[in-house]
Structure 1
Amino acid sequence: MGTRTVRAATRELLRELGLTTIFGNPGTTEIPFLTGWPDDFTYVLGLQEAGVVAMADGYSQASRQPVLVNLHSAGGVGHALGHVFTAYRNRTPLIILAGQQLRSLLPDEPYLGAVEATNFPKPYVKWSCEPARAEDVPAAIAHAYHVATQAPQGPVFVSVPADDWDAETGKPTPQRPRIPGYGPDPDAIQDLANALDASERPAIVAGAAVDHDGAVPDLVALAERLGAGVWVAPMSGRCSFPEDHPLFLGFLQPERILAARTLAGHDLVLVAGAPAFLYHVYRGEAEDALPPLYLLSDDEQVLARAAEGTGIRTTLKLGIRALAEHVSAGDRVAPKPLVRPEKPAMTTPITAEYAYATLSEVLPGNGIVVEETPSHRNILHDYLPITSTDTGFLTGTSGTLGYSLPAAIGAAMARPDRKVVAVLGDGSSMYCVQALWTAARQNVPVTFVILDNAQYAAVRILGQTADGAKLPGTGLGGIDFAALATGMGVHAVTVTEGAALAPALTAAFNDSRPTLVHVHVDPNPTALY
């Protein structure tokens, strides 16, 4: 093979890996990578790097494919780090390709140079590299791809000096298929099957990794075979069990006492694809002991951190299928099905309960809900059941605000066959609001529903719960989201009366343009958990 530029060799590699849709915000150190852009590549431009990473995250999760992200040296990577952290918690296989100053300038710490570039995004990338030689750039990207796409998946980082792209290389980059999932230890699975067969009141706690691995149908079949009720793990970022199924029991709260109290009626709990457990607040140690726990996870860190229970390392689809082959069909009495609250009355101001119940009535059946309303998360669970078993629900597992508005754009680009709705708080929306420009530029039919209670209500409520008084920095208000959206090319309407909500949402779902619905809601939510 003759010589060619590193740029040409890398583009061949990206084609072979299917990484031709690239999300980015470029700077001068990226010019050599971008010059002569191929016609068969798509560059999705975002106006700020945090939104770029979140858009790529939503695209990757909805498509179930890795995605390349192009960022600018240290400053751009720094802007993006909040959502690199989110991508790490979301287990999203992003290959982050960042520019670096010319190699010849690096000894003098130049303008736009990234000092210790590979350390900057740690520990929230699985692997980080700046190749020692220009000719090693394609091999580094191939290595990054295989690390990112191995379970547990996650972001990786490659820093490339600007002059590397024009260097010549004759070095081929051998291609290998993605590393497949792996099964559990047979003896461990048999022990778990024996314990389940002996159990009288088993439960399953479903985590995000079940949907991430496309194993929701397998978990449904296992639950039905066992006659076991299914809870959702605290703060789960995806829907891993259909919420209209008769075995669905609801959501565990991210607090020890409440989680233990909820599970106290079971004599065995299988935790599939989640930590045991993720908590947000501490109100003391639980008086109720947790039942015997068994954990299926592909993440060795999750298994190592578990304070209780028996861990079995496996990717979720293979682990659940192996377990289903060994357990006996149960003749247990089915648990009582979950009873949801009735739709509340229409009031002014609109309550979050009414808003979510109305959204549930008009949302298309295969819709994707991308959520970021921290003060209303339990209300969403009560009034907006997620029934789609294929990426029907996405949210930022890290809790870093600003994720869901741009992530919804990426999800809609990846799945044009489905309607995507982003349900957002007013505070959350402002972190990456400039992503609306990309929605208009790409003309993706996303519906952005902003529930505006004029405050950082989650901070206020938790502060009051902890006896905090006179907390500063929680009041918002006065933001005209319709004007912001219109200024960036997105159609928008404002809703203040309950009677106008369903027509506004229906019109938005039927519109082929991106649309923002600004809903003024009751500013007095009183509880999170």
Structure 2
Amino acid sequence: MTTVREVFFDVCRDAGLTTWFGNPGSTELRMLRDWPDGFEYVLALQEASAVGIAAGHAIATGGPALVSLHSAGGVGHALGAIFNAHRDRVPLVVVAGQQTRAMLPTRPFLGADEPATFPRPYVKWSRQPERAADVPAALAEALRVAMTPPRGPVFLSVPEDDWDRPAGPVPRRFVHTAFTTSPGALHEVAEALNTARAPAVVAGPGIDEDGAWDQAVALAETVRAAVWAAPMPSRAAFPEDHPLFQGYLPPVRSSVASLLAPHDVVLVIGAPVFTYHVHSEGPIVADGTRLFHLDCDPAAAAWAAAGTSILTTVRAGLTALLDLVEPSSRPAPPARSRPPAAPLTDPLTASAVLALLHPMESVLVEEAPSHKDTVHEQVPITRPLGYVTTGSGALGWGLPVAVGRALTGERVICVVGDGSSLYSIQALWTAAQRRAPLTVIVLNNRGYEAVASLGRRIGITSLPGVALPELDLTSLAHGFGVPAARVTSAAALPAALKRALDGPYLLDVHVTTSGGSLY
């Protein structure tokens, strides 16, 4: 007899899902017994870290990753990270254990009520199959949904006695997911770009997701468009040392409209129109600006509040558009001037610390909200897959994502705030066990400075619950098996940073508070 478990592993093997991430419990025991050759289980110490590490691995490989969670409690712990994966369009297959089917009517210990409903709406697909025999086919369907644009997490709940039930083989199937729109729609965009006085491109993370950096650069150069990064992107999408690159749009409606006002045609690629964090009134774009939007997400196209949205996967759409646009002789927009780094003096500033990372030869993973603008000013990203952050704002994503990226073998530098670091600090243990090439730089301003700064923006000058004095992050790192050092002076920083680049290593760098307002 062929069991559900055997067929399930066959489906995983065919899909290349041979590295699993998770934090196991009793409802996963039958799934994990007699672990097969050729499969690897990457243990994390908490479920949100498991999801984040799996996400970092998926981003690096461009394929799906499987993460194993433990019933309702494990899924609950992981939901913040699943939310991030959903907003950042990361293809994860989340498999959660469930109690034995015969026990479910009695609401047993560790049983999940309505398991398929629990993670919604932050998964694309969610199911607990009606029959044990349907579990492997459900996995195959989940994989196809996760990898269909817009990509994202899916959820499969499996009662723990299903694994030993009989099941038939699942036929292998392939789905080609690239698509583009009608030629007429792209002709409209091309005509607008060809006749524009001063076009602009807003480059979103979908460009990086779909491997379309070359196409985005070619389009901007052909039509001589100014290029802005979309507000709050999860990835970089255009070389930030390119003379056409103008910087990052802030997540404020009035500011976006003002910065884009000089442009008569704006093309948003692979990003929503637009992501905001601070409320302000006014139009989406200035009067007289024609707005076009290329992306694969029908939901984003539906709620976009202005312009013309065109559904297409990014690389296919840009490739077709490049055949329609004409080389322009209009003057290129002026190159932006990058702010100089602050001097490396005491007291240390985030600007001075980050300037030492330029040029960035490693992957940069960032979760330092109060220093995000400084990161973009001092550490330009110049290559695909070179930058990851959280596009949703739910903290605790950066550190485990950095671990997952590093597990693929590429050197990763994770720049994280002291507050952010604590949401998933246990991910350091996995980095230590796997000897991941990871350097964690904590910009420690002894508080939730992003919260305090946003408070000051709206006139709130005093807040409870934003101070974080006397955190001993180096002791925490040592406890998880990661070497660490604290830096409080400019003189000590260069040598400490050199040591930290032989990671895994955590560097706790004490910096001044920004003192300014975000955005």
| Distance in 1 (alpha carbons) for counterparts of 2:258 and 2:354 | 27
| Distance in 2 (alpha carbons) for counterparts of 1:283 and 1:371 | 27
Q: CA deviation at 1:178?
A: 3.6
Which of 460-469 and 311-320 deviates more?
460-469
Q: Which runs of structure 2 are paired with 1:275-286 in the superposition (5 Å)?
A: 275-285=272-282
Q: Which residue number corresponds to residue 165 of structure 1? A: 163
Q: CA deviation at 1:525?
A: 2.9
Q: Which residue number corresponds to residue 481 of structure 2? A: 489
| Distance in 2 (alpha carbons) for counterparts of 1:293 and 1:287 | 9
Q: CA deviation at 1:283?
A: 3.1
Q: CA deviation at 1:184?
A: 1.7
Q: Which amino acid aligns with 2:447?
A: Q
Closer, same or farther: CA 119–345 of 1 in aligned 2, 3 Å: same
Name the SS of the counterpart of 1:493 in structure 2.
strand
Aligned residues: 518
Q: Which residue number corresponds to residue 65 of structure 1? A: 63
Q: Which residue number corresponds to residue 139 of structure 2? A: 141
Query: Cα deviations across residues 342-371 of structure 1 (Å, max 9, x unaligned)?
Result: 12112222111111111225x42xx11000
Is residue 2:235 matched to residue 1:241?
Answer: no
Name the SS of the counterpart of 1:4 in structure 2.
coil
Whether the aligned pair in 1 keeps the contact of 2:371 and 2:514 (CA below 8 Å) is no
TM-score if structure 2 supplies the norm length?
0.98
Query: Cα deviations across residues 290-327 of structure 1 (Å, max 9, x unaligned)?
Result: 62100001000111111110111000000001111001
Is residue 2:112 matched to residue 1:84?
Answer: no
| Distance in 1 (alpha carbons) for counterparts of 2:456 and 2:20 | 44
Query: Cα deviations across residues 175-194 of structure 1 (Å, max 9, x unaligned)?
Result: 11243210121100011111
Q: Which residue number corresponds to residue 111 of structure 2? A: 113
Is residue 2:174 matched to residue 1:180?
Answer: no
Backbone CA RMSD of aligned residues: 1.2
Q: Which amino acid aligns with 2:248?
A: F
TM-score if structure 1 supplies the norm length?
0.96
Q: Which residue number corresponds to residue 364 of structure 2? A: 369
Q: CA deviation at 1:287?
A: 9.7
Q: Which residue number corresponds to residue 323 of structure 2? A: 325
| Distance in 2 (alpha carbons) for counterparts of 1:250 and 1:460 | 25
Whether the aligned pair in 1 keeps the contact of 2:256 and 2:285 (CA below 8 Å) is no
| Distance in 1 (alpha carbons) for counterparts of 2:446 and 2:261 | 38
Q: Which residue number corresponds to residue 251 of structure 2? A: 254
Closer, same or farther: CA 287–221 of 1 in aligned 2, 3 Å: closer
Q: Which residue number corresponds to residue 391 of structure 2? A: 397
Q: CA deviation at 1:470?
A: 2.7
The answer for unaligned runs of 5 or more in structure 2 is none
Q: Which residue number corresponds to residue 469 of structure 2? A: 477
2:305 to 297, 304, 307: 307
| Distance in 2 (alpha carbons) for counterparts of 1:507 and 1:228 | 42
1:498 to 474, 490, 499: 490
Name the SS of the counterpart of 1:23 in structure 2.
strand
Name the SS of the counterpart of 1:498 in structure 2.
coil
Q: Which residue number corresponds to residue 414 of structure 2? A: 422
Name the SS of the counterpart of 1:58 in structure 2.
helix
> Identical aligned pairs, as a percentage?
48
1:514 to 466, 490, 504: 504
Which of 280-289 and 173-182 deviates more?
280-289
Query: Cα deviations across residues 411-449 of structure 1 (Å, max 9, x unaligned)?
Result: 1112x1x32000000000000001100000111010000
| Distance in 2 (alpha carbons) for counterparts of 1:166 and 1:23 | 22
Name the SS of the counterpart of 2:68 in structure 1.
strand
Name the SS of the counterpart of 2:374 in structure 1.
helix
| Distance in 2 (alpha carbons) for counterparts of 1:16 and 1:473 | 50
Name the SS of the counterpart of 1:411 in structure 2.
helix
Whether the aligned pair in 1 keeps the contact of 2:5 and 2:163 (CA below 8 Å) is yes
Whether the aligned pair in 1 keeps the contact of 2:53 and 2:401 (CA below 8 Å) is yes
1:45 to 43, 46, 52: 43
Q: Which amino acid aligns with 2:199?
A: P
2:21 to 10, 20, 23: 23
The answer for unaligned runs of 5 or more in structure 1 is none
| Distance in 2 (alpha carbons) for counterparts of 1:185 and 1:138 | 37
Q: CA deviation at 1:487?
A: 1.2
2:33 to 10, 23, 35: 35
1:380 to 372, 375, 378: 375
2:516 to 509, 512, 526: 526
| Distance in 2 (alpha carbons) for counterparts of 1:430 and 1:61 | 23
Is residue 2:214 matched to residue 1:217?
Answer: yes
| Distance in 2 (alpha carbons) for counterparts of 1:46 and 1:468 | 39
Name the SS of the counterpart of 1:99 in structure 2.
strand
Closer, same or farther: CA 287–312 of 1 in aligned 2, 3 Å: closer
